Structure 1
Amino acid sequence: FQGVTAGLLISGPLLTFVVVKWSWHAAFMALGVASLVWMALWAYFGAEGKVTEQGSVQADADAPRLPYWELITDRTFLANMLMYWTTYWIFSVMFTWVPSYMSKVMHYDATDAGWMFMVFTAFNIPIVLGGSWVSQRLLKTGLASKYARGWLTSLLVLIGGALILLAVFAVQNPLLKVILLAIGCNLPQITFVLSSAIVAEIMPAGQRSSMMSINSALATTGGLVAPALMGAFIQGATTPALGYDKGFVVAGALCIVTSVIGLLLINPEASKRRFARLIETRRARSETRSRSILAK
């Protein structure tokens, strides 16, 4: 996930150089070529079923594939994806509306608003790295993934939502309000890492990449709705501040609701056992049909 930040740092000056030396057309061409090269590398190194590990639901390449509806409707997958969806909702609001919030509501000048936004977004680095490290340490101690990944993610999303609501309803000091919003909006971003880890853990090896892609595709739809809804709140409010606050309240409420769902439903160990049973059932049915055909 930190590669996203690194990519922004690297691509910024490189693309500026390309635009200045050649044109903006060349910059788009460079991105297109880089994407095609990466696609070819990913197709080779990240092909379905190439990565397996001890204890995987599907250890052999010829294991039956499960219907995707069975995988998508799994309780762990759905609860996990909902928290990811909420995080993407907040993430998209951060990058589309928080800069203007800094200037129009917090009344920072352009330079200070830029610095404040940089600090606002930088909170995710220690949160994501630290949270991932804690999760890994908990797993190594033998703690179940339900707690080391599921509950840890849910609790950070829950605390994030509480801090957002606290900033809206209980804090008037501009700097403290921004700090609480920054921490509240960044705590849920642990899902960008642990959500994928949970999906990778529970899914059959041959369908793991597909389900990780589906997880991301469903979750990122939050980014389609959130910025437009925030804009509608701002446009319909008597003051911009009230519109922003309404949008932040929705984000905080979503965090609390989806985190409680996560605490109640995420159980990677149970989902792995369920998928293993389904695979064995389908394998048994296939073998029965094969014997019946041979007998005839």
Structure 2
Amino acid sequence: MSGARGGSEAGALSAAAVRTAGRHGAWGTTWLLLAFMLVNFADKAVLGLAGPDIMREFGISRQEFGAAQAAFFALFSVSALAVSALTRKVRTSVLLLGMALLWSVAQLPMVWAAAGFGTLVLTRVLLGAAEGPAAPVAVHHLHGWFGQRDRNLPTAVLMVGAAAGVAVAAPALSAVISGWGWRWAFGTVGVIGLVWAAVWRRYGSEGPLAPPVGGARGREDAEVPEVPLRRVLLSGTFLTACAGSFAAYWLMSSKLTWLPDYLETVLGWDAHRAGLMVGAGAVANGVVLLVHGVVAQRAARRGRPGRLPAGAGAGVLLLLSAAAVTVFATAGADWLRVPMMFGPMALALPMMTVGQTAVARITPPAQRGVVLGAVVCVFALGGVLAPLVLGGIVDAGATAARGYENGWLFTAGLLAVAGALTALFLRPERDAERLGVPETPPVGVPVAH
């Protein structure tokens, strides 16, 4: 009886009303979450942009600075998993608001002149704990507004926040650092976080496909039984989504932490020029993500399997990114090295979109937040390891130039291995069928009963 009643209630839902909610709410929510991710990555970028000034003022080595950057990820993975598990009990709109407020609290102490290296490390740990769940909770919230076939483009837009955050932050925060000092760069991103929280408090809301919290079952997951988590976590799709995303995040973290110092120390650029170049490269990253999102969305909406397996495209992009990083590391001329930052190296980044949409495809809606958090828990280790490992490799080199070359080549090898694994084993449709997870319908299409 309860199933029949659920079916009648779902059928009674006004399709026109749901479509209206989709039109006016889905993309409005997407733009708000894009801004959320923009602030998120501006928070991450500020330390790398201020890195040369911080190392000089505190008298620390690159490896010590890498340790400060890695402190951001000390609780990142644990927090990502723990808070994502809360999505079954607490609405994602509330969790997102709480995270944004904590970000700001973590940034503001560095404005004071008395705040030293120890304060920097402690605030980065707090910031990482607050930002760890940002991506999985934001994606889970966004997928409450879009059906399975419509998720590629909005998820890509969300990931563009990473690129846009750096694109906006690099020149803007470089100007703040040049004009008022590096401490005010931390204060700036803290205030911006408070502004976003105020806007989200007014306009943020749950989508019509969002699974209800507290154990109740709703429209999207009314006919989808939960699957033992170990079956999802041991699937080829989950494992290769983690491996590919780990490599992509390693590259992103490496560039975020060390690219400004590389451009200044090895190429001899001033801070302003380096900031502009990092920002321009981030714009190119965003273009790559959007183009991939549009292409993937069109392919998904056709509803026909492609000629190649689902993971082949993402694997090839990782391999091409590995080749670009190799050229970037070994080229002896700027005219060959610099263009690699404008697109070719960024070909790894769509893996962040592919990995999350693939994992969402094989997971029942009620469990989606937890599994997305598990993906982030794994791939965020790249953010912990990349600053430390590359900092150690650079310091171990005979010169900074040779150390950076070795570090970039190590990154290229990691991308190549992940690309091969992704091409071979990322199969979301096959694993979804094996796990018994049906495709989520578009907003406005009633669930069959």
Task: Report TM bin, short chain.
Answer: 0.7 to 0.9
**1:98–1:117 contact (8 Å) kept in structure 2:** yes
The alpha carbon displacement at 1:142 in A equals 3.8
Q: Structure 1, residues 248-295: CA drift from partner, whole Å, max 9, x if none? A: 111111111111101110111110111118xxxxxxxxxxxxxxxxxx
Please tell me whether residue 238 in structure 1 is matched to residue 401 in structure 2.
Answer: no
Q: Which residue of 2 aligns with 1:274?
A: 434
Q: Structure 1, residues 177-198: CA drift from partner, whole Å, max 9, x if none? A: 1222453431111122222111
Q: Structure 1, residues 59-89: CA drift from partner, whole Å, max 9, x if none? A: 6437542222221111111101111111110
Unaligned stretches of 5+ residues in structure 1? 51-57, 278-296
Which structure is higher in RCO with an 8 Å CA cutoff and minimum separation 6?
A: 1
Q: Structure 1, residues 195-246: CA drift from partner, whole Å, max 9, x if none? A: 2111111211221222122212221111010011110011111000111111
**CA separation in 2, counterparts of 1:98 and 1:26?**
22
Q: Which residue of 2 aligns with 1:252?
A: 412
How big is the alpha-carbon RMSD for the aligned residues of Structure 1 and Structure 2? 3.3
Q: Which residue of 1 aligns with 2:110?
A: none
The alpha carbon displacement at 1:123 in A equals 1.5
**1:136–1:148 contact (8 Å) kept in structure 2:** no
Q: Which residue of 2 aligns with 1:125?
A: 286
Q: Structure 1, residues 100-130: CA drift from partner, whole Å, max 9, x if none? A: 1111111222332222222222221211111
Task: Report percent identity of matched pairs.
Answer: 23
**CA separation in 2, counterparts of 1:164 and 1:149?**
24
**1:135–1:149 contact (8 Å) kept in structure 2:** no
The more displaced of 221-230 and 34-43 is: 34-43
**CA separation in 2, counterparts of 1:78 and 1:236?**
33
Give the SS at the match of 2:436: helix
Please tell me whether residue 102 in structure 1 is matched to residue 263 in structure 2.
Answer: yes
Q: Structure 1, residues 30-74: CA drift from partner, whole Å, max 9, x if none? A: 746955985998785499635xxxxxxx96437542222221111
Please tell me whether residue 161 in structure 1 is matched to residue 319 in structure 2.
Answer: no
Q: Which residue of 2 aligns with 1:190?
A: 350
Q: Which residue of 2 aligns with 1:81?
A: 242
Please tell me whether residue 175 in structure 1 is matched to residue 175 in structure 2.
Answer: no
**CA separation in 2, counterparts of 1:225 and 1:131?**
28
The alpha carbon displacement at 1:25 in A equals 7.7
**1:135–1:148 contact (8 Å) kept in structure 2:** no
**Which letter does structure 2 place at the counterpart of 1:263?**
A
Q: Structure 1, residues 15-34: CA drift from partner, whole Å, max 9, x if none? A: x8xx9xxx988974874695
**2:288–2:350 contact (8 Å) kept in structure 1:** yes
Q: 1:29 to 1:106 in 2, by over 3 A?
A: closer
Q: Please report the TM-score for the alignment, with normalisation by the length of structure 2.
A: 0.51
Q: Please report the TM-score for the alignment, with normalisation by the length of structure 1.
A: 0.75
Unaligned stretches of 5+ residues in structure 2? 1-158, 213-218, 438-449
The more displaced of 197-206 and 106-115 is: 106-115
Q: Which residue of 2 aligns with 1:49?
A: 211
**Which letter does structure 2 place at the counterpart of 1:189?**
L
**CA separation in 2, counterparts of 1:203 and 1:87?**
22
**CA separation in 2, counterparts of 1:224 and 1:153?**
24
**1:86–1:258 contact (8 Å) kept in structure 2:** yes
How many positions carry a matched residue from both structures? 261
Q: Which residue of 1 aligns with 2:386?
A: 226
Q: Which residue of 1 aligns with 2:295?
A: 134
Q: 1:217 to 1:115 in 2, by over 3 A?
A: same
**Which letter does structure 2 place at the counterpart of 1:49?**
P
**2:309–2:427 contact (8 Å) kept in structure 1:** no
**2:326–2:408 contact (8 Å) kept in structure 1:** yes
Q: Which residue of 2 aligns with 1:144?
A: 305
**1:49–1:208 contact (8 Å) kept in structure 2:** no
Give the SS at the match of 2:277: helix
